A and B are shown apart, each in its own frame.
Chain A
């Protein structure tokens, strides 16, 4: 089983619908992140959480919200999806060590029509 699991892997939704992307991890890491990947822009940080009671906005948080239900679970919600939120979304974790890399899930391909 993957250390960082994202569900769903792919999703098509209609404009205006609410959608939730879920992420769970078995690495025991405190820190979890949501990134969005667009062609030519790399990965941009949406939200991050250093523990269950700590939620922080990233560089592109408008239109998104998150919930840290437990140390191992971090979900991303689009309250009212719009077409320019069509992208590849990644959840990642790290243990807070300065040199430790982020570990990524396999991504969710979201299409808003």
Chain B
């Protein structure tokens, strides 16, 4: 069964600095999709970035980028120029190509400090 692990329950970063959130996953599939979701205090789940496993190039979305290491089954999220609005819970998620269920990690609570 697929599993997603986030080893950092809580993290903090100074405003304008860079922070990296870690995620590892376990799967026997070769084709799959990875996501980072943000959950601010409003509790809305917001997609931050996605990565397709067959693409070697790391995805980027403005200040957000990923480091996808397929062999190591690692999918970290880098937030550059952190802003107060980045304070949220961040969930790493996995979706296999052979089925249509999204599996979530336990989350990392990120606090951006002014």
Interface residues of A (CB under 8 A from B): 31, 33, 35, 40-45, 48, 50, 58, 88, 90, 92, 94, 96, 98-99, 101-102, 104, 106-107, 109
* A58 to B101 CA separation, bound complex (whole angstroms): 9
* A35 to B42 CA separation, bound complex (whole angstroms): 17
Closest to B106 in A: A42
How many residue pairs bridge A and B at CB < 8 Å? Answer: 53
The answer on a CB contact under 8 Å between B33 and A98 is: yes
Instruction: Please give, as numbers and ranges, the residues of chain B lying within 8 Å of A109 by CB-CB distance.
Output: 43
Instruction: Please give, as numbers and ranges, the residues of chain B lying within 8 Å of A45 by CB-CB distance.
Output: 101-103
The answer on a CB contact under 8 Å between B45 and A90 is: yes
Instruction: Please give, as numbers and ranges, the residues of chain A lying within 8 Å of B103 by CB-CB distance.
Output: 45
* A92 to B4 CA separation, bound complex (whole angstroms): 19
Q: List 29 A-B contacts (CB under 8 A).
A: A33-B101, A40-B9, A41-B106, A42-B4, A42-B6, A42-B91, A42-B106, A42-B107, A43-B91, A43-B104, A44-B104, A45-B102, A48-B100, A50-B100, A58-B101, A88-B43, A92-B102, A94-B100, A99-B50, A99-B52, A101-B35, A101-B47, A101-B50, A102-B102, A104-B44, A106-B44, A107-B43, A107-B44, A107-B45
Closest to A108 in B: B43
Q: How far is the CB of B34 from chain A (nearest CB, A)?
A: 10
A-B CB proximity, top 3 nearest:
A104-B45, A42-B104, A43-B104
Which listed residue, A31, A40, A98, touches B97 by the CB 8 Å rule? A98
Which listed residue, B9, B33, B43, B91, touches A99 by the CB 8 Å rule? B33
Within 8 A of A (CB), among B69-98: 91, 95, 97
Q: How far is the CB of A38 from chain B (nearest CB, A)?
A: 9
Q: How far is the CB of A99 from chain B (nearest CB, A)?
A: 5
Interface bits B25-62 vs A (CB < 8 Å: 1, else 0) = 00000000101000000111101001010000000000
* A90 to B107 CA separation, bound complex (whole angstroms): 15
Q: How far is the CB of B91 from chain A (nearest CB, A)?
A: 6
* A96 to B50 CA separation, bound complex (whole angstroms): 16
